[in-house]
Amino acid sequence: MKAIFIAYSQAYNEEIINILEQYGQRGYTRWTDIGGRGSEDGVPHLGTHAWPEMNHAVLTFVQDETKASDILSALRRYDAEYPDLGLRAFSWTVDGV
């Protein structure tokens, strides 16, 4: 099983959830109003007067490693198409009960 953590600009929440649903990934946990700044060239999303935008994050656990790879590939394509998305996605192998 793979865990996938996705952080992105709040403006793209619907699109990120649609990608998960496109690959049949129903379950996820979402955090809203998360502050942060990209490590390379991202602008801060801090919810302040100077930096009013915020981020969201999603954590999902995918049973099928091929499906996890497909989801990550779709996220990469979407990030390349919309660089303002500020998307970062990480995956790791996990054990579950």
Q: What is the domain extent for residue 42?
A: 27-56+83-92
What is the C-alpha separation between 57 and 96, in angstroms, rounded? 21
Residue 3 vs residue 87, higher pLDDT: 3
Q: Say what the pLDDT of residue 50 is.
A: 87
> Residue 89 corresponds to which tokens in the numbers above?
């996605």
Is pLDDT at 93 greater than 90 in this prediction? Answer: yes
Kindly state whether residue 14 falls inside one of the protein's structural domains: no
10, part of any domain: no
Is the residue at 7 inside a domain?
A: no
- Residue 8 within a domain: no
- What is the model's pLDDT at position 37? 79
What does the block give as tokens for 14? 């619907």
Contacting residues for 9 by C-beta, under 8 A, at least 6 apart = 45, 53, 55, 56, 84, 85, 86, 87
Residue bearing tokens 């990469």? 76
Over range 84-92, report the average pLDDT. Answer: 89
- Find, among 14, 15, 56, 17, the residue nearest to 35 by Cα: 56
Is residue 40 a part of any domain in this protein? yes
Q: What is residue 3's predicted lDDT score, i.e. its pLDDT?
A: 97
21-76 per-position pLDDT tens digit: 999 999 999 999 998 877 777 777 888 888 888 999 999 999 999 999 999 999 99
Place of tokens 């390349």: 80
Question: Which pTM was predicted?
Answer: 0.89
Cα atoms found within 13 Å of the Cα of residue 15, Cβ hemisphere only: 15
Total domains in the chain come to 1
Q: What 3-state class would DSSP assign to 73?
A: helix
Question: Does 34 map to a domain?
Answer: yes
Residue 36 lies in a domain: yes
